[in-house]
Every structure is written in C-alpha cells, then in structure tokens.
Structure 1
C-alpha cells in the first residue's frame, strides 16, 4: 500500500470534521482498525480503498498518492489552464518549462486570491517581497552563468548579493509568520482572525476549478523534493 494512503485518509476525515469513531462506523470497520490504517501500522485491502473512495467522493488514484487531484486527473502540459496567452506560455524546446510555469502561475493565483481576503494588506507586501526575491535570486544565478553578461545590470555587488537577498527573504518570511501569529507589523493592524484562510482540498477544488489541480501538483512535486533531502 502506498505510504500516502494513511496521510490522505486522515486528511479527508479531518477536512470533513468526522470523528474517527464515526468514520469507522460508516466504513464498516472498528475504530481500532481505522486507527491502524491512518497510522500506517496495518495495510488494508482493495475493497476498503474503494469504500473510502466512495465515502469521501475521491478517486482511488488520489487515495494511493498516484494523482495529486481528488478526481485522479493526471496532468499534461496542454491540460493545465494558462492565465496568459498561448504565445506567451509556449517555450522553445522542452515542455518542462511550460509545465512548471503553469503550475507556479496557477498556484500563485490561488495564493494571492486568498491574501486579497485578508484585512492586513501588509501581508500581501511581505509575501510578494519573498516571492520576488526568490525570482531575483534564480534569475541572477542564470544571468551570471554567462561570463559575457554585464554585471552592471545589478546594483548589489557580486560578493554581497546572495547573502543580502537570503537575509531579505528571511526577513520577509519572519514578517509573514509574525503577522499570521497575530503580531502587529508596521502601521497595519494585527491579524486577529485567520478564518479568511480556512480551506480544504474540497473547497479549493470547488472555488478554483481551473487552478486547484496545479496547486495540488505543485505541493506533491515540492514535497517530493523535500523528501529527497530528508
């Protein structure tokens, strides 16, 4: 059984607000057995996977971690909606840049839409600063790889830019974390209620039918990279 199964069935149950006891009764197993499934202590049979899929309205591929989308959709570049014109979203050569650009762009649409509902507009500034610095760092690394490119394009010196940009990113992240924790930042009011950020995989799919699949795949890909570093 996929190692993702126990994480996903736990996530789905908690998103629905269902107790383990209730879910076990509905699925026809004991609470102790469901607990073992959710903790990955025991493996279930295929019939239970199908029952869980029907119970939560998701695909078996999603439960097994084979698809990042609840419906089991596997994306191709052509199937990912692009917020830009077709001309701008097609790159010469490999389709990989096109795929990754769409995943990132579509995921950012969701992130900034959620941020727009937040009363603390300073949060948008700090999140934007962090993301712009990340793009700046990657662009400058690529730009600097060609020796003939003029270093004068950038004001921050070659010896300082990596350390300074990393420090600025850490500062932006710290400001975001402080704001979300309810601390006041600058002249803006403290964020006293984070309910505007309440979401589930189900609500994201419903509210962002064009972009949710991109976000789920971005999360899956990112955590795959994180897992390689563990």
Structure 2
C-alpha cells in the first residue's frame, strides 16, 4: 500500500467527524486494526479499500492518492472551469479589496500565460507555472493554518518544513528560468524568438485592451511594496 493511503484514510474519517471506534465498526474491522492502517503499520487488502471507498463515497483512486479528485477523475484542459461566478458574486458582496486584488492577479496571469503560449517553450512554461503554483500553495497553506481544527492530513509535507521546502523549490524554479533566459549554460538548447515577446505598453493595450490596466496596476503596486 502506498504512503498516501494512511493519510487519506485518516483525513476522510476526521472530515466525517467520527471516532476510530465508530469507523471501525462501520467498516467491520477492529479499532486496533484500523489504527494500524491509519498509521501505515499494516497493509490492508483490496476488499477493505473498496469497502472504505464505498463508505466514504470516494473512488479507490482518490483513496490511494492516485487522483486529487474524490471521483477519481483525471482532468483535461476542457474539464477545467472558468472563473467561479458564484465565488465572484460572494466576493462582490463583501470587502472590495479581495475583489480588486483577485482581478489584478487573474487578469495579469491571463496576459502572462498568453505570452508563454506565444513563446511556445515548454521548459519555460513549466518553470513559470511551477513557481506560481508553489506560491499559491504556500499562501493557501498559511490561510489553512489559521484554524487549528483544520486537518493536517490534507497535506503530505509536514507543516514544520513545508515553508522552507516551498521557498527552496521556488528559488530553483527561478534559477532554472534565469539560466534559460540569460542563455548562458544552455546556449544551444534554448533559442528564443525574441520578436514573439516584443512588449510595450502600446502593444499590451492593443493585444489585451481589457486586461492591461490590471497588469500595469499590479506592477505599480508590487514595486510600491519593494520601495
């Protein structure tokens, strides 16, 4: 059994709000055996995996850590939703600051990823994407910590080292990207068509009329933080 199974097994039980004794009774095993499964001390059989998946209403792939989706679905680009209208409406009824900052960031990211698509360099896209995903992961995890009752089993990396590991990996992403852009160590491997990324405020306005003001404001706000 893989290392994700004990973590997810524990997470599902705690999310359901039941004790080990209750879960064990429902799953027709002893509490001691369930404790061993949750701690990763013993491995279970396939029949227990199926029974547990049915009990918690998830797929076996989710239970085994093979899919982040409870249904076990593997997402394609077409499956990914656009902006959550319901969430946008909730934000608009509250403080204006989250609404404003979300629009600045989302619109700026739209421009960023369109430029990446024009550049058409998978290695560059990977490093930029990984850096941004790690940043969001890090901030989400900080917010998750605010409520001490939130289950730590949602994450595989322990809290006491996640911040350092995230920062280190973001630094590596930036270093690899810098190496590609500066064309030093990888002079032969990476040859960019510079004209594809010929950028000016005028070209931004022409190509992204509705989004450019968000990007320019994000740049202004960010540089204000650096002064």
- TM-score by shorter chain over 0.5: yes
Distance 2:99 2:224 in 1: 20
3-state secondary structure, aligned to 1:204 = helix
| 1:140-164 CA distance string (max 9 Å, x none) | 0010121111111111112210110
**CA apart distance, 1:184:** 6.4
Q: Which residue of 1 aligns with 2:210?
A: 210
The match for 2:19 is: none
Greater share of helix residues, 1 or 2? Answer: 2
CA RMSD of aligned residues (A): 1.9
TM-score by length of 1: 0.58
| Deviation at residue 178 of structure 1 after TM alignment | 1.0
Query: SS of the counterpart of 2:160?
Result: coil
**Change beyond 3 A, Cα 1:154–1:85:** closer
Gaps of 5+ in 1: 1-82
TM-score (norm 2): 0.59
Equivalent residue for 1:145?
Answer: 146
Provide, for residues 102-135 of structure 1, a one-character-per-residue CA deviation record: whole Å limited to 9, x for no partner. 1100000110111111142110011000000000
Pick closer, same or farther for the CA change 1:191–1:119 going to 2, 3 Å: farther
2:159 and 2:218 map into 1 onto residues whose CA distance is 32
Structure 2 unmatched runs, 5+: 1-81
Whether the 8 Å contact between 1:184 and 1:191 is mirrored in structure 2 is no
Structure 1 or 2, whichever has the larger Rg, is 2
* Contact kept in structure 2, 1:103 and 1:215, CA below 8 Å: yes
Partner residue in 2 for 1:93: 94
Alignment of 1:137-216 (within 5 A): 137-183=138-184, 189-216=189-216
Where does structure 1 differ by over 6 angstroms across 4 or more consecutive aligned residues? none
SS at match of 1:159: helix
